Amino acid sequence: MTIHREGYPTIAISAVIFAVINLLSFYFISAHVPWLSYIIFIVTLALLLFLISFFRVPNRKLTKGEDLIICPADGKVVVIEEIVDEEFFKDRRLQVSIFMSPANVHQNRNPMSGEVVYNQYHKGKYLVAWHPKSSTENERHSIVLRNGHGEILVKQIAGALAKRIVNYLTVGQKVEQSAEYGFIKFGSRVDVLLPVGTKVNVQLNQAVQGGVTVLATW
Q: Would you name the residues annotated as active-site residues?
A: 188
> Which residue, 124, 128, 141, 118, is CA-closest to 191?
141
User: Distance between CA 216 and CA 67 in Å, rounded?
Assistant: 9
Residues 21 and 46: beta-carbon distance below 8 Å: no
User: Distance between CA 72 and CA 130 in Å, rounded?
Assistant: 17
**What is the residue-wise DSSP string for 114-156?**
EEEEEEEEE--B---TTSTTHHHHB-EEEEEEEETTEEEEEEE
- Residue 2 backbone phi and psi in degrees, to 5: -125, 175
Angle between helices 8-28 and 34-54 (to 10 degrees): 180
